[in-house]
Amino acid sequence: MEIDEEESSISHEASVGKINDEQLFYLESRGLSENEAVNMIVLGFIAGMRNVGFQYFFYALIFVILEAISVLIFLWAGSSKLLGVGIAIPVLIALVYMVIFVRYMLKLEKKVSEEN
């Protein structure tokens, strides 16, 4: 996702992956158990997210969910052709879930802004 304006340029990248084995090895060599090392890495990632405004986190989360939904629709479309079902059903389901998600996130954003 990229946003370009006259005075600013913003880009976003999202990925999900395995925790780096070298990071785990380093922390375990310092005396942490594997669970403690994993927790420290994940909490460090989440702590870094606190510095990002809630709005940007919200947009990134929507982007990731839309990517996941598009993959599910693609997979469903392939299997639905075999079953004789059109793609309208998975698209409708995806839209319903998206509406529910957006309404929930807007309520959550409102609650967070009221607390601040």
* Residues 24-35: tens digit of each pLDDT: 898 899 998 888
Mean pLDDT of the residues in the chain = 69
Q: DSSP state, 87?
A: T
Q: Please enumerate in sequence order all residues whose Cβ is within 8 A of that of 65, keeping only pairs 6 or more positions apart, or say none.
A: 98, 101
Polymer length of the chain: 116
Q: Are residues 91 and 45 in the same domain?
A: no
CA distances from 56 to 3, 31, 79, 112 (A): 12, 36, 35, 14
Range of the domain at 46: 1-51
CB distance 2 to 11 below 8 Å: yes
Q: Are residues 3 and 47 in the same domain?
A: yes
Q: Are residues 37 and 67 in the same domain?
A: no
What average pLDDT score do residues 53-82 get? Answer: 69
Q: Are residues 34 and 76 in the same domain?
A: no
Per-residue confidence (pLDDT) for residue 2, from 0 to 100? 46
pTM: 0.33
Domain count, the chain: 2
